[in-house]
Structure 1
Amino acid sequence: MKKQPLWTKDFLSISVTSFFLFMGFYVLLTTLPLYILDDLKGDETQVGLIISVFLIAAVISRPFTGKWIDEVGRRKILLASLIVFAVSSLLYFWAESMPALLALRFLHGIGFGMATTATGAIVADIVPNERRGEGLGYYAMFMNLAMVIGPFAGLTIVQYSSFLWIFTLCTVLSFIAILLGLFVNIPQKTEGSVKHPKFTLSSLFEKNAIPVAISAGILAFAYSGILSFISVYAKELDLLEAASFFFVVYAAFIIMSRPFTGRWFDTYGENKVIYPAIILFAAGLLVLSQANSTFVFLLSGAVIGLGYGTIVPSLQTVAIKQADPAKRGLATSTFFTLFDTGIGLGSYILGILAVKTGFSSLYFMLAGVALFGLLVYYLLHGKRTERKTIHSEADLPL
């Protein structure tokens, strides 16, 4: 039977929309600390607060967005969230004090949380069912590219120009995202196709996605140590120049592996991909903890890219597969709510821990956290999947 096409206009439109969203996010993530310290004369505590407020707003908005996109419709919520994101980007031109910037970051975080939840739910509807692992893997690759290009573009602009050009770039990127969002043809059967129960806390989460989302949150906690402290660790090792290439190597290995891992997921099942990916992630953290040269430092980026870069789209695919088709929006928001919570808690807790243990010991411990995430995944989902597979094979005619 002929495979259904994956690289359609709609798939490309929503993937590139996501790329521009995440590129704007990463441009500001890497340059706003400098803006606070240099232009607003703030301190490191305020830098951490600016990052935390954005993430808290995104986490708060996701469960509500998951409920709304299944009830109100994907297109309406997508366009509304993209407009909130774009208006927030424009308002940075007038954010000239810490209180104003904090309020703006909260609004921007709401737009980001809503928009990324909506795009995640839409792409799950667009990709063919039998190619969902492959499709979501390629979709995640666009986010990985933004993670490399965004910081590079932002830091280059800051080096040669003013922050006005940073804010101009982010505004342009966000309005391009709106234009691309208009071209996405969202399947009509998913538009407002389900009514969730009356508002309760449980109505904001898809219970079938929670086990996998818990595993993702634990692994995200471990990954937050890289997101938050890799440049500080590199400076400690006198490898600061290598730090700028860490995510380049990381993304390069994700891109090289993506054509294979997504297909393996669809062909052999989630466990055959997720177990090795988590082990690779733990191994990469272990290598990073022992880094004493540029080669070892960048080698850890390659191994982590192969592992963690495969984990996120794979677990997201499982979360969506566990949910009723009409509740994919809620499943997506449930997954990313716990995922973002893991990163947020990790950034705060690991910062305190690093002061006491040092970064080498911290990354060694995080390798253990990753393996703990493997155990949790096995207990909450993997074991049940294996049991189903054994029963299915037993029912086959001899």
Structure 2
Amino acid sequence: MTRDPAPSPGLLRTPGMIGVLIMAAAAFGGWSLLLPVVPLLVAHSGGSDALAGSVTGVFMAATVVTQLLVPRLLRTQGYRRVLAVGCLLLGPPSLVLLISADAGPVLAVSAVRGIGFGMLTVAGSALVAELAPKRILGRATGAQGIAIAASQMAGLPLGLAIMERWSATPVFVLGALIPALALVAIAGLPKIFAQPTGESARLSVFVVLVPVLALACVSASFGGLSSLLPIAISERAAVAGVVLATASGSMLIGRYSAGLIADRLGSGRTLAPALASSTIGLVLFAINVDGGSTPVLFCAAVLFGLGFGAVQNESLVMAFQAAGPRQLGSASAIWNIGYDAGTGIGALALGFVATTAGYAWVFAVSAVVVALLPALAAGGKVIGSRVAR
């Protein structure tokens, strides 16, 4: 009689997993502290709205360009080195802003920090897939999402509160120190290099098209929601903040729940329901944004947040499984680019919709785009399997 092999360790007992979660929380916490503060400082220092907006634009542009290069770095330099350099580029350069808030230094610092952020996002996601046994991959990516989102929920309002109460100086110091402290967690991570791809191991875009397209469309809707809802209901500014916080909290639940389901029933099962939930939430926003019911806005936030969180986790797990162990870095890069580019493009495009047609149409257009994807998601595995043959 043969014995069953010993079960793999649980989530938090997986070697390196706690370190990855601590590193993610520290890096993204430091990033979120500065995210709203730097543009605000530029505006307070006499900079134009265009300059204030370009701060985030330069940051994200540097992030996306870097994400394209990280898979190769993971193969040649290893995860620990890439993560360590990413933390050092993301945090300490913010100390330059203590000296000057002029356009040149601010944009240069934003570009450098964007490079660090691009390294962290791709390497951090791929490392979770390297460390986690297949049976808990969904929960592992969900736990990482919770660590990141929780630190953002704390950091975004905290940075603004510190600046309002004292000044931007302690924000920049904390923004430099917190990501640097992640080096302690990185030092304890296993020394892992991404697997060499080999000449025949090329990641077909069609294999990951469905999950990344789903993510990009819903993240574009989130970009419009987070940027435009406070303006759309400016007469209820306090309500807007709580609605966005409700959506963020719901994302945490949606992301981890999707991970549990993926581990128990298989990936791909919650993508279409998650897209449907996001669509219904956007429809409720469209109906109620112009003087509608406040309780319905909260219901919309819950439905959209649950759907968006589930789409995040499900699309990431599907991308990793479709890519295979030799292409985890590439899958992570594509996923992160879809998320970041979708958010930025969505805010820009939906801002144009708001200017030309009104805020209700922002959410109506978003709902239509997201509603077209469940059928595509349902056929995604068929498309991927045919391409892979």
TM-score when normalising by structure 2: 0.89
Sort the Cα spacing of 1:173 and 1:204 in 2 relative to 1 into closer, same or farther, 3 A.
Answer: farther
Q: Distance in 2 between matches of 1:220 and 1:254?
A: 12
Going from structure 1 to structure 2, the CA distance change for 1:327 and 1:386 (only over 3 Å counts) comes to: closer
Query: Contact 1:11–1:123 (CA<8 Å) still a contact in 2?
Result: yes
How much has 1:35 moved relative to structure 2?
A: 0.8
**Mapped partners of 2:197, 2:253: distance in 1:** 41
Determine whether 1:44 maps to 2:49.
yes
**Distance in 2, Cα, partners of 1:151 & 1:5:** 32
CA distance in 2, matches of 1:211, 1:276: 14
Give 1:339's aligned residue: 339
- Counterpart Cα distance in 1 of 2:239 and 2:254: 22
Partners of 1:97 and 1:196 in 2: CA distance: 47
**Match of 2:170, as an amino acid?**
W
Instruction: Give how far 1:243 is off.
Output: 2.0
Counterpart pick for 2:278 among 272, 281, 294: 281
Matched, 1:25 2:31: yes
CA contact 1:265–1:314 (8 Å) conserved in 2: yes
* Identity score, percent: 20
* Other-structure match for 2:73: 68
How many pairs were matched up? Answer: 377
Alignment of 1:1-398 (within 5 A): 2=7, 4-8=9-13, 10-38=16-44, 40-186=45-191, 188=192, 191-194=193-196, 208-235=207-234, 238-257=235-254, 260-291=257-288, 292-379=292-379, 381-384=380-383
Q: Which amino acid aligns with 2:27?
A: L
Question: C-alpha separation between the residues in 2 aligned to 1:27 and 1:84?
Answer: 15
State whether residues 74 and 329 of structure 2, in contact with CA within 8 Å, keep that contact through their aligned partners in structure 1.
Answer: yes
Superposition TM-score, scaled by structure 1 size: 0.87
Letter in 1 for 2:20: I
Q: Secondary structure at the match of 2:91?
A: helix
Taking only aligned residues, the RMSD between alpha carbons, in angstroms, comes to 2.5
Task: Tell me, in whole angstroms, the C-alpha distance in 2 between the residues paired with 1:278 and 1:94.
Answer: 46
Q: Distance in 2 between matches of 1:127 and 1:145?
A: 21
3-state SS of 1:270 partner: coil
Deviations 1:57-99 (A, max 9, x none): 1010001002211333212211122222223233322342012
Other structure's SS at 2:190 match: coil
Structure 1, unmatched stretches of 5+, are: 388-398
Partner amino acid, structure 2, of 1:228: S
Maintained 8 Å contact 1:66/1:333: yes
Contact 1:36/1:42, CA 8 A, preserved across alignment = yes
Structure 1 residue 205: Cα displacement: 8.2
Distance across 1 between alignment mates of 2:199 and 2:48: 46
Distance in structure 1 (CA, Å) of the matches to 2:46 and 2:155: 24
Aligned counterpart, 1:394: none
Separation in 2, partners of 1:369, 1:256: 24
